[in-house]
Amino acid sequence: MAQVTLDAVRKLYPNGHEAVQPSGFTIQDGEFMVLVGPSGCGKSTILRMIAGLEEVSEGTISIGDRVVNDVDPADRNIAMVFQNYALYPHMTVERNMGYGLKNRGMPNAEIAEKVREAAAMLNLSEYLDRRPSQLSGGQRQRVAMGRAIVREPALFLFDEPLSNLDAKLRNQMRIEVRSLQRRLGTTAVYVTHDQVEAMTMADRIIVLNGGRIEQIGTPSEIYDRPASTFVASFMGAPPLNILEACAVGGSVLADGGEQALADANGHSDGALMFGVRPEDVTVGTGPHSFDVEIVEELGANRLLHGKLYGQAFSVSVPKDREARTGPVPVSVRPDMVHLFSAEDGRRL
């Protein structure tokens, strides 16, 4: 059990590429922290620096009370689960899980005991004699988890562990991973590019973009109060609608629109970005004319895609509401409006 602290950590590659700009945050003991962002945003680099697989260019990383910048990965008391599982192909499940313990000089009987325990927890007991190639993707992923668990580390590191699984299995493993981490109470850092995984699994989320932290917060904070247009459009499916707009005389108007979308909340006149979630738009009544072009059936609800004042816009309506293409009147829930700066996209 440990808390993890990154203090002004920076990663600069010899070719001059700055993969991670100086960033700092603290992961509390027992917390499930998800790093999310598009590919190349530096999330894996941060994870690999915590693991010790990548050197830290500047700043310090501490696990517990110990600064681990120069500590070997094996001595950091961590366990890592890789995207492609990275199981030893020539070893049985049992030996795969016990290899790390064997290298630490634990007696064989004790290793067997711990491996059996972990295998029972992961429903792998029948497969202990198999090789990884004889297992399905989900089972391999469980073996990789088992290898992490038996070590009883202070910190779990997950590097997109579910990306190689099919969608159904991924949903199931998501819950398994989460409940396992809860039960063990071990601090976890989880890297993913999938915002659904981030939202559903995390205690807190760190959204990264271009090597920079955009926002740190709980899933509901991130969803309800995105710190920038990047976070707003990255988190949530369908993404937040963003319209180019301007504040005029105390109210916000979409570019090309005549009716006020929202109150300017005291922001001075000028260009800004107006955002609203597709589910925070009411269809049927209202001052705005939304031109529906495509209706997407999602089962539980319908997504209407089209144009509002000439800009791309989406609205989510419940399934019991009829929808067809053509102009419909809509209104925006005034308390669910997000305003962002037109220059840097930060929240106003």
Partner 1 sequence: MAEATLDTPATAPARTRRIRWSVVFDHLILMAGAFLMLAPTVYAFITTSHDAVTIHREGLQLGFGDKMGENFHNAMFVPGGFTQTVDGTLMLMNSFILGIGFALGKIIISMMAAYAIVYFRLRFATLAFWVIFTTLLLPLEVRILPSYEAIQQLGLTNTYTGLIVPLIASATGTFFFRQYFRSVPEELVEAARIDGAGPVKFFIDVLVPLSRTMIAAIFIIMFVFGWNQYLWPTLMTTDESFFTLVRGIKQIVLSYTDSQIPEHGQALALAIVAMIPPVAIVIFFQSWFVKGLTESDK
Q: Kindly list the residues in this chain that would bind partner 1 in the complex (CB under 8 A).
A: 51-53, 72-74, 78-80, 82-84, 86-90, 99-100, 103-104, 133, 147
Q: Which helix (H) or strand (E) holds 70?
A: none
* Sheet hosting strand 32-36, strand order edge to edge: 78-81, 155-159, 187-192, 32-36, 204-209, 212-217
**Least distance in Å: CB of 87 to partner 1?**
8
Contacts of 71 (CB under 8 A, 6+ apart): 52
Least Å distance, CB 11 to partner 1, is 17
Based on CB atoms, which residue is closest to partner 1, 51 or 261? 51
Q: What are phi and psi of 301, to 5 degrees?
A: -150, 175
Q: Where are the alpha helices (DSSP H) in the chain?
A: 43-51, 93-103, 108-121, 137-150, 167-184, 195-201, 219-224, 229-234
Own/partner contacts of 13-18, CB < 8 Å, gap of 24 or more, are: 18/211
Tabulate helix, strand, coil % of the chain (nearest 5).
Answer: 30, 35, 35
Is residue 129 a contact partner of residue 92, using CB atoms and an 8 Å limit?
Answer: yes
* Of residues 14 and 249, the one with the C-beta less far from partner 1: 14
Residue 295 Cβ vs partner 1, minimum distance, rounded to whole Å: 38
Q: How far is the CB of 250 from partner 1 (least distance, A)?
A: 57
Nearer to partner 1, 86 or 348 (CB): 86
Min dist CB 89 to partner 1, Å, is 6
Nearer to partner 1, 104 or 182 (CB): 104
Q: How far is residue 173's CA from residue 166's CA, in Å, rounded to a whole number?
A: 10
Residue closer to partner 1 (CB basis): 104 or 333? 104
Helix (H, G, I), strand (E, B) or coil at 222: helix
**C-beta closer to partner 1: residue 59 or 100:** 100
Q: Closest approach of Cβ 122 to partner 1, in Å?
A: 17
